[in-house]
Amino acid sequence: MTNWRLPFTQIHLTGRELDYIRRVMESNHFSGDGPFTKQCERWLERATGSARVLLTHSGTAALEMAAILSGVGEGDEVIMPSFTFSSTANAFVLRGARPVFVDIDRRTLNIDPQQVAAAVTSRTRAIVPVHYAGEACDMDALEAIAREAGVMIIEDAAQALLSTWHGRPLGGIGTMGAISFHQTKNVAAGEGGALLVNDPALIERAEIVWEKGTNRSRFHRGDVDKYTWVDVGSSYLPGELIAAFLFAQLEDAESITARRRAIWDQYHAALEPLEQEGRLVRSSSRGNGHLYYVLLRSIEERTEVIEALRRKGIFAVFHYVPLHSAPAGMRYGRTHGTLSVTDDISDRLLRLPLWPDMTGDDVTYVADALAAALGAPLQAGTFER
């Protein structure tokens, strides 16, 4: 089925996207680092408190830049959850470092600080918390571990724009942070991302890495009379068309987030009876309303439910295959501990459709279809968070 009644996600259009794209066409500046790129970066600096934001063509690119700037290399280790996308690990593997996968907290599905502390060795160079579903990791605990170990924190905040930890914007807490504007994210441009540089000492080199290893940014500011190749780098800038679309989205980011949180709340209320009857466990990660998930009884039940929802035109999906069990994860990384929570959650998690233009009736339709797919009530206490 391709014509979904309720697709998993859908970008909310603000109505200004075409106007801004037209301005790019009229200006004839299509390459990176144009006026809309700069407006996006200034907006993100204000929203996150970062010292410098560099727009990138993807969240993956932002992570790769962070890995270069971190200085990790052959023999170094980087601690991260296994319950994340491949880009989190790939960025560091490309620099020769080894990902060390640790388990997640059963309640938040975020990296478990106790497991992080136990995994630190003399080879550890960075900790990479992933703010799953826009829900903040325990940054106080992670910062304490990082200070004790003398390592940096690089936040994978791909899903976490406008989420906070005790009032501190996610992505703006660690030494660096990475955000994604992929089509599945709250604020989206199809593709796109941003590197948040929170340590001012890294800004100059970050601009060089961003500009293909050249000091072109300094040249444009008039600091040097010509630019040349001075360091490693790559082509990380997005085109100005992407930046124009993105800026229209960023201008409405607060209202988009508020609407997603409202839909999250509607799901949470609608599914409460199913949780009370023991049919499922509801999401505990509201964050910025990035996604709503439920935990089912088994991977077999989840497969059956996905198919039942599909027959009613509802596109619901599972999420990550844990990196520690993936072929590349076993080749390039290592695990610390059993990762039993990661394995369990990965098998049972189901993500429900959520986007800003969903209606209350849409949420009710999904909740009713999910109830029907689960059949008779199960015994209370069957599930464990």
Model confidence pLDDT, tens digit, residues 167-217: 999 999 999 999 999 999 999 999 999 999 999 999 999 999 999 999 988
> What's the pLDDT at 47?
98
- pLDDT surpassing 60 at residue 1: no
Residue 247 burial (10 A CB sphere; 0-12, 13-18, 19+): buried
Model confidence pLDDT, tens digit, residues 10-54: 999 999 999 999 999 999 999 999 999 999 999 999 999 999 999
> What's the pLDDT at 222?
81
Quote the DSSP letter at residue 206: H
> What's the pLDDT at 378?
41
Model confidence pLDDT, tens digit, residues 128-137: 999 999 999 9
- pLDDT surpassing 60 at residue 127: yes
Read off the pLDDT band of 3 (50, 70, 90).
Answer: confident
Average pLDDT over residues 283-302: 95
Mean pLDDT across the chain, nearest whole number?
Answer: 95
> What's the pLDDT at 377?
47
Measured in degrees and rounded to the nearest 5, phi and psi for residue 127 equal: -115, 130
> What's the pLDDT at 381?
41
Structural element, H or E, at residue 55: strand 52-56
Task: List helix spans (H) across the chain.
Answer: 17-27, 35-48, 59-70, 86-93, 113-119, 139-149, 203-210, 216-220, 240-251, 253-270, 272-276, 299-311, 327-332, 340-348, 360-374
317 bridge partner residues? 351
List the one residue out of 255, 257, 283, 251 whose CA is nearest residue 269: 283
- pLDDT surpassing 70 at residue 2: no
List the one residue out of 351, 342, 381 whose CA is nearest residue 105: 342
Within 10 angstroms of residue 72's Cβ, the number of other Cβ atoms is: 25
Model confidence pLDDT, tens digit, residues 230-289: 999 999 999 999 999 999 999 999 999 999 999 999 999 999 999 999 999 999 888 999
For 148-218, strand residue ranges (E) read: 152-156, 164-165, 168-169, 176-180, 193-197
17-251 and 253-374 in the same fold: no
> What's the pLDDT at 356?
97
Average pLDDT over residues 62-87: 98
Write down the CATH number for the domain with range 253-374. 3.90.1150.10
Write down the CATH number for the domain with range 17-251. 3.40.640.10
- Cα distance between residue 193 and residue 63, in whole Å: 9
Cβ atoms 280, 271 nearer than 8 A: yes
Across 173-177, 218-222, 300-304, least confident range = 218-222
In the chain, what are the domain boundaries? 17-251, 253-374
Q: Token pair for residue 43?
A: 């907006």
Instruction: Please tell me whether residue 105 adopts helix, strand or coil conformation.
Output: coil
Across 65-69, 89-93, 372-376, least confident range = 372-376
Give the contacts of 22 (CB within 8 A, at least 6 positions apart).
none
- SS3 per residue for 265-328: HHHHHHCHHHHHCCCCEECCCCCCCCCEEEECCCHHHHHHHHHHHHHCCECCECCCCCHHHCHH
Average pLDDT over residues 163-169: 98
> What's the pLDDT at 383?
45
Read off the pLDDT band of 362 (50, 70, 90).
Answer: very high
